[in-house]
Structure 1
Amino acid sequence: MDNSPDLPGCSYLNPERTLGEIQINLLECKVCFEPFNFQQRGRRPQNLSCGHVLCLECITALSHPLLGKLECPFCRQLCSVDSTSPCQALNDLQELVLSRRPSSPDRPRRTSGLTCAALQLQTSFGGWGTLVNPTGIAALGTSGTLVIVHDGEKRVVVFNLLGRKLHSFGKKGKAVGEICYPMDVAVTPAGYVVVTDPGDRAVKVFTSRGNHLITIKDFLQLPWGVDTHISGHLLVSDAQAGVLFRIKVDYTQRVVVESQKAISDLQCPRAVACCRVTGNTAVMEHPTDITERRPYRRLRVFTKDFHLLYQTDSFSLTLQSTVQLNMSAVIFDEDRDVIVADPDQGLIWSLGKLKNGPVLAPLVGNHLIRPVGLVLLNDMLITLDGGDHTVKIFSNKLD
């Protein structure tokens, strides 16, 4: 009998799954995503002087041909190629994993009609260089186009579902049409791209091709999360003011028609999501007056008129699970269930409709490092993983 103290009703951290996670998260290069191979010179793992590990081929590709130095893609420390050394620990770990790897993994047990890691990874794309510390993701209609904000030289990148980069815009800076530090992104029904820029204390609106329309900043202190209400208004959380703003924009005239404090008693609100079916709004709070070391998050759900329906928090959710549940990104699915990302555990959870209390069900338990953004599109759950700077697409297909 498996008594692993992890996800309710399934063996997320049983030995077989743990070996699989080791292979994915430790035994592959996080730049090219190729498995380390000690038999192939270019795929051998090498220690940089900063402590991070890359394959020899990526070190060669990233280093300056004359200076013999490279900037670590993870901590940005300048490292000398001559100071790299073989990572013997990973060599030993790989031999151990290969010797313990079972020929046929156990079938996952079921819980409440869902299998542990019920959604399967279909594809992933991005990686360091293509994406740099991404923080927000949104879908451009139902065509399969994804809009992502990150810390690259051009802050907004547009991809198709195959991972092909279509175009990018929003040069780094504070001038008109530039973005200082993007945090979140939303797309309006008309296809306008809305970016929160706490670095410039502003919300910036662009066309889908990247033409700047308007910058909103007069009443904002630290804009963070953004989504569109079913009325067409923008919903913007202000982490410093503790307010959720409801903003009406005339995109043709490029002016703010109306701005209201929809909710004004929030504590450091960040992620925000609106249900396309009911108009209910979910807001993720990060209270700052908690003295406990573990992260404390509070999730509140409001009606379309912004009356409180129900709330839960990370402490209450942890009591229902054997993991210390954290929460970051939040969305609603087509059945009005609330879905949250857990960046600490690398998990995606469904909380149900929360009306009679949360019902925890794991949706994704593999292949994620630090999920920071979620999108539902055409029966696919698309996750933005800040841990390895990738987009990962999950579905319940078996192929």
Structure 2
Amino acid sequence: MAAKALHSDSLCHMFLRPIRSDLLECKVCFERFSSEQTGRRPRNLPCGHVICLGCVCALAHAVLRQLECPFCRRKCDVGGTYDCQALLDLQDLLGSAERPRYSLNVSGLLRLQNTFGGWGELINPTGVAVLVSAAVVVVHGGHKKVTMFNSQGHYLHSFGYYGNGRSDLCHPLDVAITPIGHVVVTDAGDHSVKVFSSRGTPLANFGPFELPWGVDVDKCGHILVTDAQAGLLWQVVMDHRCSVVVAKVVVLKDLQCPRAVASCRVSGRVAVLEAQRQHNGNSIPARLKLFSKDFVLLTQVDCFSLNLLNPMELHISCVTFDRKGDLIVADAQQGLVWSLSDLHKTPTLSPLVKARLERPVGLVATEQNSLIVLDSGDHTVKIYSTSADDSDGPKRSKSI
């Protein structure tokens, strides 16, 4: 394992070396750019070439405050130069990559506390949410497509037969809970979003969408729905007491195959995961975008950027916020869960779960500081906690 980690580090350095020499050094003085407030900050010239601030000052006329680009000879004013933010961000990412990273044999911070569900009770689960009562709600492909378990993992009840009726579900993809405990389900089968009581009574049905996928409820009680095919994020305002849709508006456009959506109960920020896709024969990696509560883009990161922070190739499959407002992501291909901390600042990858997961497709961070993971690999719900003692192995709940 140590040899593999060393090999990964060697490959990482081989990959990063040309980036540092080709992009992260000034081609006038050949000094490395710096993100600090010094003379080595990369500066964009109006012609598009980049040199460091020190060379801008050295090449500029002392009185006229003008300089000539050393590459294309175009003249410009010193005041017309500005920080090259793309290179500053890349510099920060590479600086993070050079810091000590977690090796593959380091355990995650969370321990498996309980496992429930399994084939038969859950069939190809796709979404998970938690009621205020701590009951766990899962949507899946079974005979009844919404199944509830209590906080100990014992089966409670199910609803949502396959069909096109008001109380039916065709192909549910995700689930969320309203402030008063109603269950919101995206149904890709009939391109709608459906709202039920916790007992399964149909309350509302709205659409149409092209391909409704992810759903969450923000701190104001508004429903957020991604349309993966149309590239949109919808906000649906409901009178939950009367189960009436008050407004349905597009809040984000031009998204690329948006799937998971998560709203932070602390800050109101919204995270949208754009899935990996093919374009003109090329594979475009998944991308995570973070927006303010007013849907202004704050930052974005893709798997390529995250791979600079970690020797493993990451494939984000789902996202949630913890009770402090930090982002948590899961990797369905490698069975891992990571904390991204505050993505609006420099992202920091910290392992949370590195064992006993096969294919995590859903995440919920609870107020009790536990993490609920929906594992479609073995059709189970797994609860992790920092306080669980797993010396005797995880508990396995049975149906009652």
The normalised TM-score by structure 1 is: 0.70
Task: Show structure 2 runs of 5+ residues with no match.
Answer: 10-99, 390-400
Equivalent-residue separation in structure 2 for 1:337 and 1:216 (angstroms): 31
What is the CA–CA distance in structure 2 between the aligned matches of 1:386 and 1:147, rounded to whole Å?
A: 14
Query: Aligned residue for 1:331?
Result: 320
- Specify the alignment match of 1:256 in structure 2: 245
AA of the residue aligned to 2:266: V
| Residue-by-residue CA offset, 1:339-372 (whole Å, 9 max, x unaligned) | 0010001000111101233111111000000000
Aligned match for 2:274, one of 276, 285, 289: 285
Q: Which moved more, 1:320-329 or 1:147-156?
A: 320-329
Which of 96, 120, 131 lines up with 2:122 in the alignment? 131
Contact 1:285 1:297 (C-alpha < 8 Å) held by counterparts = yes
What is the letter of the counterpart of residue 127 of structure 2?
A: G
What amino acid maps onto 2:111 in structure 1? Q
* Equivalent in the alignment of 1:2: 2
Quote how far apart the aligned CAs of 1:136 are: 0.2
One of 193, 199, 217 as aligned partner of 2:189? 199
Counterpart in the other structure of 2:351: 362
Answer whether contact 2:290 2:344 (CA < 8 A) is retained.
no
Superposition pairs for residues 175-214 of structure 1, below 5 Å?
Answer: 175-214=165-204
Residue 319 of structure 1 corresponds to 308
Separation in 2 of the partners of 1:311 and 1:238?
A: 19
**Number of residues paired by the alignment?**
297
Please give the alpha-carbon distance, in whole angstroms, between the structure 2 residues aligned to 1:348 and 1:303: 24
- Secondary structure (helix, strand or coil) at the match of 2:156 reads strand
Q: How far off is 1:291 after superposition?
A: 6.1
- Aligned counterparts, 1:145-294, within 5 A: 145-218=135-208, 220-286=209-275, 288-290=277-279
Asked whether 1:304 is paired with 2:276, we answer: no
For 1:398 and 1:125, how far apart are their aligned partners in 2?
16
Give the match for residue 13 of structure 2. Answer: none
2:371 — aligned with what?
381
Question: Match of 1:391, as an amino acid?
Answer: V
Match of 1:144 among 129, 134, 137: 134
C-alpha deviation, 1:110, in angstroms: 9.7
Give the distance between the partners of 1:395 and 1:290, measured in 2 at CA: 40
Would you say the 8 A contact 2:261–2:273 is kept in 1?
Answer: yes
Say if 2:128 and 2:363, in contact at 8 Å, map to a contact too.
yes
Output the CA distance in 2 between the equivalents of 1:111 and 1:319: 13
Mapped partners of 2:5, 2:377: distance in 1: 24
Aligned partner of 1:27 in structure 2 is none
Q: Equivalent residue for 2:33?
A: none
CA distance in structure 2 between the aligned counterparts of 1:374 and 1:209, rounded to whole angstroms: 23
Matched-pair contact (CA < 8 Å) for 2:333–2:359: yes
Q: Is the 8 A contact 1:267 1:287 kept in 2?
A: no
Q: Which amino acid aligns with 1:137?
A: V
- In the alignment, the residues of structure 2 paired with residue 245 and residue 374 of structure 1 have an alpha-carbon distance, to the nearest angstrom, of 21
Whether the aligned pair in 2 keeps the contact of 1:197 and 1:223 (CA below 8 Å) is yes
Partner letter of residue 228 of structure 1? Answer: V
Contact 2:277 2:283 in 1 (8 A): no
TM superposition shift of 1:316:
1.2
| Structure 2 Cα separation of the partners of residues 301 and 110 of structure 1 | 24
Q: Aligned to 2:172, what secondary structure does the other structure show?
A: coil
Instruction: Give the conservation status (yes or no) of the 8 Å contact 1:197–1:204.
Output: yes
- The secondary structure found in structure 2 opposite 1:138 is strand
2:273/2:286 contact within 8 Å kept? yes
Q: Which amino acid aligns with 2:254?
A: D
Report the CA distance shift for 1:258/1:364 in structure 2 as closer, same or farther (over 3 A).
Answer: same
Displacement of 1:328 in angstroms is 1.1
Name the aligned partner's letter for residue 352 of structure 2: L
Aligned equivalents of 2:297 and 2:158: distance in 1?
38
Aligned to 1:116: 107
Deviation at 1:247, TM superposition (A): 0.4
Pairs within 5 Å for 1:331-350:
331-350=320-339
Q: CA deviation at 1:376?
A: 1.2
What letter corresponds to residue 183 of structure 1 in structure 2?
L
Structure 1 unmatched ranges of 5 or more:
10-108
